[in-house]
Amino acid sequence: MAVCVAIIGKDNSPKFLSSLNPDEELCFQYKILSSLDIVEEKIHGVNRATDNRELFLGLLYALETHKIYGYVTNTKMKFIIVVDSSNIALRDNEIRSMFRKIHSEYADIICNPFYIPGEPITFKSFANNIKNIMTGTV
């Protein structure tokens, strides 16, 4: 179970953010912002991975309380998942499949003619679907 999911645009501006506990949202935002440094380095840095097909970036930050994972699409949209450090049930594979589900949700939303690419995503159904992915009910 993830505690927070964020979708960040290619210009590094937030497009969508959902967290289980709304009180912590501000703190999550700061954490996600910091983790973007690592994402940027992984995408553009000197030692970037040569395999372009691998979208999953792996663990970005392991803080005392939380672990942050990253995923980047070919169009440089970034997906971030924050997991509680105490949650050891989630392994890389689960996180990976969670990212894939988010990616397919995102692809659906891009196909929606009412969504303007580049704008923040405000659809209720999308938020619900993401919540379900976070809580693992899908």
What does the binding site for another protein look like in residue numbers (CB under 8 A)? Answer: 11-14, 25-26, 29-30, 33-34, 36-38, 41, 45, 61, 116-118
What is the rounded end-to-end Cα distance, in angstroms, of the chain?
Answer: 11
d(CA 13, CA 59): 21
d(CA 115, CA 42): 29
Number of C-alpha atoms within 13 angstroms, CB side, residue 76?
Answer: 13
Report in angstroms how near the CB of residue 138 gets to another protein at its nearest.
27
Nearest residue to 101 via CA among 109, 112, 89, 113 = 109
